[in-house]
Amino acid sequence: MADVNNAPWLTFVGWGESGTSGLTAASQTALEQASTVFGARRHLDLLPDINADVIEWPVPFSDGIPLLLAKRGQRVVMLVSGDPFWFGAGTSVSKHLQPNEWTAIPSQSTFSLAASALGWPLERATCLGLHAAPLNRIRPYLQPCQKLIVLLRDGAAVRELAGLIAGLGFAESTLHLLEALGGERQRIRVFSAGEQPPDDINHPVAVAIDVAGSGPAMPRTPGLPDSFFEHDGQITKQTVRALTLSALSPMPGELLWDIGTGSGSIAIEWLLAHPQNRAISFEASTDRAATARRNALNLGVDWLDIVEGRAPDVLGDQPLPDAVFIGGGLTEPLLETLWQRLPEGTRLVANAVTLESEALLVQWQGNKGGELQRVALSSAGAIGSRRGWKSHYPIVQWRVTL
């Protein structure tokens, strides 16, 4: 570990397609004083002769971490695209270091270059780094009249993304293909998502998207229409789901346990509430667990963690949550386990449909407190030539903070 009184041994230098001509004086000095320089092959190709060991960062990315750490204490520069801490490699590398071991000198990010080239207000554009993530993560942001700037790994990803956008009902979207921004190879071309993208796409590449089309777009309020989810009937229906999400009160960065997840709808909407949210779904049925995984991927929250098995048996080694939802498998042993394990302040919401589970909630609410409410919904339906109200099964919901 570096001494707190010493200067950092590692410098992240923001690097662009203009090479050394686009560097600040501080970045130039860091390069001149470096004993070792790490960088991707396309970065090193723009590097002039320097008095330092030059090491190409390997693939996969994680293989380079030990190589870098072996140079600890020397003067090391790592060339990183644009801003090292905006969808950049700096985030991944710095997790292995103490704060006093590194410093960063960012350059213009691809997002800044794209906005400048197109005349877009960057503060109003949604910026996504999908170069190392599933492209379906764009799904929640496909809203008409929105502007997106997306980092992609290569030309094949551009073609895949265009097909995805068109297939979701947004073929009218305008795609600005942004290649090698800021350098001599810079090129900007425009096509619609419904058209075939060019075959000769240069790396690095980004796409700026003017979203247009009939969708369907995903509403940003709790309670997505049930049609967004694949399910076998085991789903918390839209209205009850909206009430349940309101009771769970997701806040940024929080972790949810969704016990008896079924189609995964509650956990998925919890994740949609904020991109930093996390959720673990517990499901005894292998088929339903697979359905929940597909729903999470299709709706852009592929990081949903699904644990197959029956609660409380599968809860043992899981990280403790900020909130818990019980949508299935409500039993006395489950509630007892939760009360033994969960820390004070954990929010719990349980929905009951059967008389037996309703009686259990009434008993526990009497002992532990919280709020108990009964939700009875009816929908208009045909009665011969006229219409009447068709009642749904009432839901008894218990909300309590441990």
Q: What is the pLDDT confidence band of residue 4, given thresholds at 50, 70 and 90?
A: very low
pLDDT at 168 over 70: yes
Tens of pLDDT, residues 244-256: 999 999 999 999 9
pLDDT averaged over every residue in the chain: 93
Phi-psi region at 227: left, alpha or beta (left = phi > 0; alpha = psi -120 to 50): alpha
Say what the pLDDT of residue 5 is: 52
CA–CA separation, 78 and 35 (whole Å): 11
DSSP 49-66: --SSEEEEPPSSGGGHHH
Find how far residue 111's CA is from the centre of its chain.
Answer: 18
Q: For residue 147, give both structure tokens.
A: 């502007």
What angle (nearest 5°) sits at the alpha carbon of residue 106, between those of residues 102 and 110? 135
Find how far residue 189's CA is from the centre of its chain.
Answer: 28
Say what the pLDDT of residue 2 is: 39
pLDDT at 1 over 80: no
CA–CA separation, 266 and 261 (whole Å): 7
User: For residue 265, which of 347, 181, 183, 328 has the smallest C-alpha distance?
Assistant: 328
Q: Percentage of residues in the chain with pLDDT exceeding 70?
A: 99
Q: For residue 164, give both structure tokens.
A: 């995805």
What 3-state class would DSSP assign to 58?
Answer: coil
What single letter denotes the amino acid at residue 32? Answer: E
Query: At what angle are helices 286-298 and 265-272 packed, to 10 degrees?
Result: 30
- Taking residue 133's Cβ as centre, other Cβ atoms within 10 Å add up to 15
Find how far residue 297's CA is from the centre of its chain.
Answer: 11
Q: For residue 394, give both structure tokens.
A: 């009432």
pLDDT at 189 over 90: yes
Tens of pLDDT, residues 298-349: 999 999 999 999 999 999 889 999 999 999 889 999 999 999 999 999 999 9
Listed in order, the ranges of the chain carrying CATH 3.30.950.10 are 111-210
Listed in order, the ranges of the chain carrying CATH 3.40.50.150 are 226-401
CATH number at 10-107: 3.40.1010.10
pLDDT at 3 over 50: no
Q: For residue 156, give both structure tokens.
A: 């094949």
CA–CA separation, 234 and 263 (whole Å): 6
Tens of pLDDT, residues 76-118: 999 999 999 999 899 999 999 999 999 999 999 999 999 999 9
60 preceded by a cis bond (ω within 30 of 0): yes
User: Half-sphere exposure (CA, 13 Å, Cβ side) for 224?
Assistant: 25
Cβ contacts of 225 within 8 Å, gap of 6 or more: 219, 238
Q: Regarding the domain with residue range 226-401, which homologous superfamily does it belong to in the CATH classification?
A: Vaccinia Virus protein VP39 (3.40.50.150)
CATH number at 111-210: 3.30.950.10
Say what the pLDDT of residue 48 is: 87
Q: What is the pTM of this model?
A: 0.90
CA–CA separation, 38 and 53 (whole Å): 9
pLDDT at 49 over 90: no
Tens of pLDDT, residues 265-299: 999 999 999 999 999 999 999 999 999 999 999 99
DSSP at 132: T
CA–CA separation, 85 and 79 (whole Å): 12
Tens of pLDDT, residues 8-27: 999 999 998 888 888 889 99
Do 37 and 64 touch, CB atoms closer than 8 A? no
Q: What is the pLDDT confidence band of residue 65, given thresholds at 50, 70 and 90?
A: very high
